[in-house]
Amino acid sequence: LRQISQRTISTASRRQFENRVPEKQKLFQEDNGIPVHLKGGVMDALLYKVTMGLTVLGTAYVVYELLNISMPKKQK
């Protein structure tokens, strides 16, 4: 059991991944007028728009519920 666990750990550490940090740093530090939260591309823009849409819808729903609660219904 000990050999199996040591072997799994040692083989997993042999895998080498390409370091892409410098190219990401260049991308995000580039002064091109784009906000940093949108510099990742299309996926960042999509996530931003979805987040803003949910925020607006949530705010509208809260205002609706507050107005609904503040006006009591007539009792028969």
Q: How many domains does the chain have?
A: 1
Which residue type is seen at 39?
K
CB 48 within 8 A of CB 38: yes
Count Cβ neighbours within 10 Å for each residue of 53-73 and write b for 16 or more, e otherwise: eeeeeeeeeeeeeeeeeeeee
5 domain residue, yes or no: no
50 domain residue, yes or no: yes
45 domain residue, yes or no: yes
- For 16-61, write each residue's pLDDT tens digit: 789 999 999 999 999 999 999 999 999 999 999 999 999 999 999 9
26 domain residue, yes or no: no
CB 28 within 8 A of CB 17: no
Residue 1, pLDDT score: 63
Residue 42, pLDDT score: 94
pTM of the model: 0.63
- In which domain, by residue range, is 68 found? 35-75
- What is d(CA 55, CA 76) in angstroms, rounded to the nearest whole number? 38
15 domain residue, yes or no: no
7 domain residue, yes or no: no
55 domain residue, yes or no: yes
